[in-house]
């Protein structure tokens, strides 16, 4: 009797194990707050949608912290299956060949159809290598857009400006008269450097913006962007622009409070802004451009982050990762992610689905990011690939702060950025030597 029951229990447990023999994979990300909840929702839905695989997401702090955690784990042989890496870390993770399995290979090897043209044009090549092979799966893709307080615009009797000339001569003076601070923005290197270059189709770095070589030099010390920053400083002094430091939220808050009329932020901020019960109606439109620099403004770069499949995992786990990526890029999931967060849908099919559903008729501002990313491409609008870019951004943030704080001039500030960035790029090239 006892023996029988033991046998029975053993048999039961075998059955149970068989039923739950799932392949488990891990996903490290940097999506906090409401974004993190949506990430968890996607993981739960994926786990519920099938029984072979189980994904476990883990929040690892800021983008920088997530990348550092991933690197440290990789060196200790404890890397997750999927690591979220942001735009500025792309060169680091793509440069380390062997750290990741290119997503394009991962998908095709596991029998998932892959066509890079399924992705919307703005996100296609940012995380690709020099042969246009997609290395990282674009996940939370955004672009800087211009949000504006509709009541403020009405009170001042102006429209959202299309060009910076219009902002300077018409919009800003009227908004000041109406009692508003006209402008704030949350990320100087991203909005007023990287995407300034893209919008005006200006080269950002040698070697095709850094994609085709490591002996890259930055081309930021250029007359057009220095002209822009000279104006930005003047706007600050005249009260047309307010700067609250390098922190993202410190610059977004005054817009939410209704003090600042125009705020340049991420298209991915849309979800968060919509959920806040703001005391005014807001809308969004394209990032302005300088008529004096170009009459044909181009698309912008994507920001945000991509998902990388880390190497050193079993074929079975890679298969699970491929299955998850397939699930993640399905139109339904992309549309849900787009709706919940404001990040752009990365595939054409998901974009079409949102259009057919009439989402943009209900919320026109939600389409601005993806429309801006789908504007005509130019020679220099694919993206950029530079190593030690986190530090280069820190250098920019520092010098931009010094320019705005009267500690240095525009000319000296940009000369410093150029020198220090090029020194960092040369140092990064040496880390990739063998």
Partner 1 sequence: MKRAVFANRWLPILLLVPQVVIIGIFFYWPAIHALRSSFFLQDPFGFGETFVGIENYTSLFHLPAYGRAAMFTVSFTLLVTILSLSIALLFAVKADKVLRGAKTYRTLLMWVYAVAPPVAGVIGIILFNQSWGPLTDLFKFFGWDFALGVNYYDTAFAMVLIAVWKQIPVNFIFFLSGLQSIPKSVREAAMIDNRSASGRFWDVTFPLLAPTGFFLLITNITYSLFDTFGIIDTVVKGEPGNNPMTLVYKIYVDGFRGNDLGGSSAQSVILMVLVLAMTVVQFRLVERRIHYT
| Contacts with partner 1, residue ranges (CB under 8 A) | 62, 64, 67-68, 71, 74-75, 92-93, 95-99, 243-248, 250, 253-254, 257, 388, 390-391, 394-395, 397-402, 404-405, 407, 416, 420, 423-424, 427, 430-434
Cβ distance to partner 1 smaller for residue 363 or 402: 402
Residues with Cβ within 8 Å of residue 2, at least 6 apart in sequence? none
**Least CB distance from residue 188 to partner 1, whole Å?**
9
Distance CA 417, CA 256 (A): 32
Cβ distance to partner 1 smaller for residue 321 or 408: 408
Distance CA 296, CA 208 (A): 20
Cβ distance to partner 1 smaller for residue 286 or 414: 414
**Least CB distance from residue 67 to partner 1, whole Å?**
7
Cβ distance to partner 1 smaller for residue 75 or 355: 75
Q: Are 14 and 45 in contact (CB under 8 A)?
A: no
**Least CB distance from residue 408 to partner 1, whole Å?**
10
**Least CB distance from residue 177 to partner 1, whole Å?**
23
Cβ distance to partner 1 smaller for residue 122 or 268: 268
**Least CB distance from residue 399 to partner 1, whole Å?**
8
Cβ distance to partner 1 smaller for residue 248 or 327: 248
**Least CB distance from residue 82 to partner 1, whole Å?**
16
């Amino acid at each position: 009797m006892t023996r029988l029951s033991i046998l029975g229990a053993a048999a039961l447990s075998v059955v149970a194990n068989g039923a739950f023999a799932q392949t488990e994979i891990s996903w490290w990300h940097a999506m906090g707050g409401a974004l993190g909840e949506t990430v968890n929702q996607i993981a739960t839905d994926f786990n519920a949608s099938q029984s072979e695989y189980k994904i476990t997401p883990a929040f690892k702090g800021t983008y920088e912290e997530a990348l550092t955690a991933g690197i440290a784990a990789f060196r200790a042989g404890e890397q997750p299956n999927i690591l979220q890496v942001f735009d500025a870390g792309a060169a680091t993770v793509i440069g380390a060949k062997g750290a990741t399995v290119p997503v394009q290979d991962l998908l095709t090897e596991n029998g998932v159809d892959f066509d890079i043209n399924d992705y919307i044009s703005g996100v296609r090549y940012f995380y690709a290598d020099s042969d246009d092979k997609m290395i990282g799966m674009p996940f939370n893709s955004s672009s800087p857009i211009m949000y504006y307080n509709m009541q403020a615009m009405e009170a001042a009797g102006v429209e959202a400006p299309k060009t910076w000339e219009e902002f300077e001569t018409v919009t800003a003076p009227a908004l000041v008269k109406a009692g508003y601070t006209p402008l704030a923005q949350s990320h100087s290197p991203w909005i007023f450097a990287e995407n300034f270059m893209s919008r005006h189709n200006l080269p950002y770095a040698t070697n095709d913006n850094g994609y085709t070589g490591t002996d890259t030099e930055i081309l930021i010390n250029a007359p057009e962007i220095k002209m822009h920053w000279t104006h930005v400083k003047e706007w600050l002094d005249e009260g047309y622009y307010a700067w609250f430091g390098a922190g993202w939220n410190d610059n977004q808050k005054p817009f939410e409070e209704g003090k600042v009329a125009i705020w340049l932020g991420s298209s991915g901020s849309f979800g968060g802004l919509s959920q806040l019960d703001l005391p005014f109606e807001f809308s969004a439109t394209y990032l302005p451009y300088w008529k004096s620099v170009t009459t044909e403004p181009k698309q912008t770069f994507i920001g945000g982050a991509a998902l990388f499949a880390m190497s050193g995992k079993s074929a079975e786990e890679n298969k699970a990762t491929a299955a998850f990526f397939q699930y993640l890029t399905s139109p339904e999931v992309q549309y849900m992610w787009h709706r919940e967060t404001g990040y752009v849908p990365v595939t054409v099919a998901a974009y079409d689905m949102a259009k057919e559903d009439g989402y943009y008729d209900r919320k026109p501002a939600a389409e601005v990011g993806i429309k801006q990313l789908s504007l005509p491409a130019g020679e220099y609008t694919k993206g950029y690939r530079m190593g030690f870019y986190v530090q280069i951004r820190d250098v920019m943030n520092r010098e931009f702060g010094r320019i705005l704080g009267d500690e240095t001039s525009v000319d000296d500030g940009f000369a410093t950025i150029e020198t220090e960035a090029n020194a960092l790029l040369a140092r990064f090239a040496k880390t990739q030597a063998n």
